Amino acid sequence: MAVAFAAAAEEHMQFAPKFFPGESLRYGVESSTTTTGKTTTPISNPEGGSNSKQAIHLVVRLDVLDARAAGAGSAGAVRLRATYEKSSAESQSDSFDPNASGFSDQYSRLEGHAFQFTIGPNGEITDFQGLDDAFRDRSAADPVLSWLQNISPANALPQGGVAVGQKWKSERPLAGAPLAGLLWQTESTYLRDEACGSSGGASESARREASASAMCAVILTRFAITRRGSGHSDETPEEYLRNGLRTSGTWTGAGESLDSVSLASGLLVSSTETSTQNIDYKIASASAKSSVHRVGQIQMQSEITLLPNQN
């Protein structure tokens, strides 16, 4: 018995998602972002807001179009269609925000829209088709698509798989920040196996799905924003330099996520994430002899849940 338990503890799981042609999955996505702070500009605006909140509510159906690249039900490249069955959002601010209605309208227009994409053998997501119909600017689609990275956990795992109790680290650049060298650094731990939906962060719908999903791996990930290089190195990204701007300041953050991944299918069953970012940076123009100073905090929460099948 001791040998059997030791072998089970050392078993490395790949968690590569398995799909079947004609299969349909539905995910609920809830997220909220609260921003507090102050922006100082050359033109004073006494009515400028210091607190805002945005919330997004989605129900997305995934239809498996083609899984023949590696055989039906196996962990190979697969073509899917995502349809936004429900999509809504709201924005609140302590001051007049002319963009608030546009934010809500963008998500309202998304309802009923569909696009296609491919998930590769290692979990990479490529070959989008149909996004241009909803978003003229590809970068505007990024917040709407962020949930996609979570449903295929394989792209965030070591290639050799992971065992219960194992820890692993990764890092990636913090895209779009006005300061150079910023990184998302993560440390993940494969905590345990348990009945799907048993984790405290799982929603009621995830718990109802537990009997069908059987056992899940529970993975805790803690992450932080750090900066590469010394404190005296140039903090200005190249795109800002090309436009005659210089940046300086700090951008820090931390958070964690708790994910429940089906051992049978390799698919995400539930995920909850919280994070806080603190920013204090200045963007200056030498030619115009002016600058913009931003100080604030960004708090984010999100939950992704595999919903029960509709018969």
- Evaluate whether residue 52 is within a structural domain: no
Say which residues have a Cβ less than 8 Å from residue 126's Cβ, sequence separation at least 6.
117, 118, 120
pTM, two decimals, is 0.81
pLDDT single digits (tens) 238-257: 889 988 999 999 999 999 99
- Residues 206 and 107 both lie in one domain: no
pLDDT single digits (tens) 187-225: 999 999 999 876 544 444 444 444 444 899 999 999 999
Say which residues have a Cβ less than 8 Å from residue 41's Cβ, sequence separation at least 6.
292, 293
- Evaluate whether residue 227 is within a structural domain: yes
The domain of 261 spans 160-311
Confirm if 14 and 154 have CB atoms less than 8 A apart.
yes
- Residues 143 and 165 both lie in one domain: no
Better pLDDT: 36 or 228: 36
Task: Check residue 67 and report its DSSP letter.
Answer: -
- Residues 262 and 292 both lie in one domain: yes
pLDDT score, position 212: 47
- Evaluate whether residue 25 is within a structural domain: no
Task: Check residue 307 and report its DSSP letter.
Answer: P
Tally of CA atoms within 13 A in the half-sphere of 283 that contains its CB: 19
- Considering 156, 177, 202, which residue would you say is the last residue of a domain? 156
Region 126-140 average pLDDT: 73
- Evaluate whether residue 236 is within a structural domain: yes
pLDDT score, position 207: 43
Instruction: Give the C-alpha separation, 146 to 257, whole Å.
Output: 14
- Evaluate whether residue 110 is within a structural domain: yes
- Considering 156, 188, 212, which residue would you say is the last residue of a domain? 156
Residue 107: pLDDT over 70: yes
- Evaluate whether residue 253 is within a structural domain: yes
Task: Check residue 44 and report its DSSP letter.
Answer: -
Number of domains in the chain: 2
**What are residue 45's phi and psi, to 5 degrees?**
-130, 95
Q: From the centroid of its chain, how far is CA 9?
A: 30
pLDDT score, position 156: 73
Task: Check residue 73 and report its DSSP letter.
Answer: T
Instruction: Give the C-alpha separation, 281 to 271, whole Å.
Output: 32
- Residues 125 and 243 both lie in one domain: no
- Considering 156, 174, 198, which residue would you say is the last residue of a domain? 156
- Residues 136 and 248 both lie in one domain: no
Instruction: Give the C-alpha separation, 50 to 28, whole Å.
Output: 30
- Evaluate whether residue 15 is within a structural domain: no
Token pair in block for residue 249: 């300041």
- Evaluate whether residue 250 is within a structural domain: yes
- Residues 224 and 248 both lie in one domain: yes
